[in-house]
């Protein structure tokens, strides 16, 4: 009898432990449930959005999102494909927005004759859009200076 009771107790407490920790097991890293020594599953390739109109901004200082594909647009020490359309020299012909004046300042706010090195690698700040679902829930709302509400 005592033995039976203790078995029951063990089972009962074990089930308690299981439910208590079930929530911790639900927490999944962005890498997925993969053992550290295993290779993680490659993410599904995303489709970039078709070329379109400029996208609305959420706050005034935001680097605008790229409303077109950028596949094979090289940016390296010898060339910058983005500038072939967005530079002050080329923007009219390309029908593109010219790069902001702020892109001609170094970090001490000295105004330069050409694009600042810190703004050369455009995709550090500007990103194209894909059909990606948000990784976490987000309740961010645009600031009132833009939304008017």
Binding site for ligand HEC (CB under 6 A): 53-54, 61, 63-64, 66-68, 70, 73, 80-86, 94-97, 99-100, 102-103, 115, 118-126
Coil, helix or strand at residue 140: coil
**Residue (48 or 126) nearer to ligand HEC, CB:** 126
Q: If you search the block for the tokens 């911790």, which residue do you land on?
A: 24
**Residue (15 or 97) nearer to ligand HEC, CB:** 97
Least distance CB 92 / ligand HEC (angstroms): 11
Least distance CB 53 / ligand HEC (angstroms): 5
Find residue 66's DSSP bridge partners. 128
What the block records as the tokens of 51 is 């070329």
CB contact at 8 A, 40 and 121: no
Least distance CB 30 / ligand HEC (angstroms): 24
**Residue (48 or 84) nearer to ligand HEC, CB:** 84
Report how far residue 55's alpha carbon sits from residue 65's, in angstroms, rounded to the nearest whole number.
6
CB contact at 8 A, 99 and 115: yes
């Amino acid at each position: 009898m005592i033995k039976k009771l203790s078995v029951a107790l063990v089972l009962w407490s074990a089930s308690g432990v299981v439910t208590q920790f079930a929530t911790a097991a639900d927490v999944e890293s962005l890498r997925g449930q993969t053992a550290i020594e295993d290779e993680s599953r490659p993410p599904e390739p995303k489709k970039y959005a078709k070329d379109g109109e400029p996208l609305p901004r959420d706050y005034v200082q935001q680097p605008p999102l790229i409303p077109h594909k950028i596949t094979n647009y090289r940016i390296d020490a010898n060339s910058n494909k983005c500038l072939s359309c967005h530079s002050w020299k080329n923007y009219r012909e390309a029908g593109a927005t010219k790069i902001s004046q702020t892109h001609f300042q170094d970090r001490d706010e000295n105004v330069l004759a050409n694009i600042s090195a810190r703004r050369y690698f455009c995709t550090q700040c500007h990103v194209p859009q894909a059909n990606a679902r948000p990784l976490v829930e987000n309740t961010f709302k645009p600031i009132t200076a833009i939304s008017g509400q």
